[in-house]
Amino acid sequence: MSAEVARLVELLNSADVATRQLALTELEDVLDDSALEPLLVAARDSDATVRELAIVLLDELGDPRGIGAIVASLGDDAERVRLAAAAAVRDSRAPEAVDLLLKNLTHPLAEVRAASVAGLREHRAARAEAPLVALLRDESVEVRGQAVVALGHLRSEHSISALRERLGDADPIVRRLAIGALDYARTVEVNVALIGLLADSDWRVRADASKQLAKHGNVAAAPGLAALLGDHQWQVRKEAANALAEVAGLAHAVQLLPLLEDSVADVRRAAAAALGKLHASFAVERIERLLKDLDSEVVKAARRALTQLSNRSATH
């Protein structure tokens, strides 16, 4: 232990809270392994700020022996300490953390369960899969959402069915997270569920489902996507147009024409791009009108679409 570290560690024994806080602040600049034990003691200090600073320093130190104190602090009475511990848990790569985090999945506080799931997500531990699946039915929206994301990171075929069920979760946030988590799944059942979400009551869910279906390239989604071209939310209209470019044929391309005159520039741009990708030669005249659009990005999209259509004509 260096003389400076020893001096600061001694100050951690002071009865004055401000002195202990200052000692930890200065300790950050000279931190080394010899500070581990004093930091473990400070993590149990009566002052919340001292505990918070100690957790932050334990995180920076990165010693696996400190992970127990960090995980224990997820249940601290002070929110600032819990937040510091949650951040530290997400940063930790110590193998010892997995067992401690798994034990916390049954903690009475939803905040602690959620933070523990977030930590497990970063470890991508296969043995956490079953406990995470169980948390998909947790009463807390935050916990269910974190469990969905963590399982999405594991990308296990065994979790697809459980994640698919969350597409019907009562909370739109969880439904949206489930859409993203199932990015790796291309099963018929998942596609059917995603198509069903095109009629979801939450416009963000409809938009996310459209984007995911575009990645899946399922032509069965075309009718549902075409129906969204008249959605009252412009973001949904834009994503539906983008998706149709990936899954539809000329039969649905004609339904994109009204969007070339949409009041929102992003929608006009998406419609032009989609018509170009779909080789909709019947739309040339309508797309040419966009060359005079006031939005420069719309003009660029129109030019690209016209080039695509021109190249298509030249090869046929």
Contact residues for 278 (Cβ-Cβ < 8 A; gap 6+): 244, 245, 248, 249, 250, 253, 256
- Give dist(CA 287, CA 52) in Å, integer: 59
Closest Cα partner for 60 from 31, 82, 34?
A: 31
Burial class, 20, CB count within 10 angstroms (exposed 0-12 / middle 13-18 / buried 19+): buried
Statement: 234-316 belongs to CATH 1.25.10.10: yes
Q: Does the pLDDT of residue 291 top 60, yes or no?
A: yes
Q: Does the pLDDT of residue 100 top 70, yes or no?
A: yes
Hunting for tokens 């739309």 — which residue is that? 283
User: Over the chain, what is the mean pLDDT?
Assistant: 92
Task: Determine the pLDDT at residue 313.
Answer: 57
The region of weakest confidence among 28-32, 205-209, 227-231 is 28-32
Give backbone dihedrals phi and psi of 38, rounded to 5 degrees, phi first.
Answer: -60, -35
Closest Cα partner for 106 from 91, 95, 116, 98?
A: 116
- Give dist(CA 280, CA 283) in Å, integer: 6
- Give dist(CA 245, CA 247) in Å, integer: 6
Task: Determine the pLDDT at residue 43.
Answer: 93
Task: Determine the pLDDT at residue 315.
Answer: 57
**Per-residue DSSP letters for the chain?**
--HHHHHHHHHTT-S-HHHHHHHHHHHGGG--GGGHHHHHHHTT-SSHHHHHHHHHHHHHHT-GGGHHHHHHGGG-SSHHHHHHHHHHHHH---THHHHHHHHGGG-S-HHHHHHHHHHHHHHT-GGGHHHHHHGGG-S-HHHHHHHHHHHHHHT-GGGHHHHHHGGG-SSHHHHHHHHHHGGG---HHHHHHHHHGGG-SSHHHHHHHHHHHHHHT-GGGHHHHHHGGG-SSHHHHHHHHHHHHHH--HHHHGGGGGGGG-SSHHHHHHHHHHHHHTT-GGGHHHHHGGGG-SSHHHHHHHHHHHHHHHHHHHT-
* pLDDT 10s digits, 157-168: 999 999 999 999
Closest Cα partner for 175 from 165, 184, 183, 185?
A: 165
> Against a cut of 0.85, is the pTM above it?
no
Q: Does the pLDDT of residue 21 top 60, yes or no?
A: yes
Closest Cα partner for 173 from 203, 200, 205?
A: 205
- Give dist(CA 284, CA 157) in Å, integer: 45
Mean pLDDT is highest, among 47-61, 93-107, 115-129, for: 47-61
Mean pLDDT value across residues 103-116: 88
How is the chain split into domains, by residue range?
A: 234-316
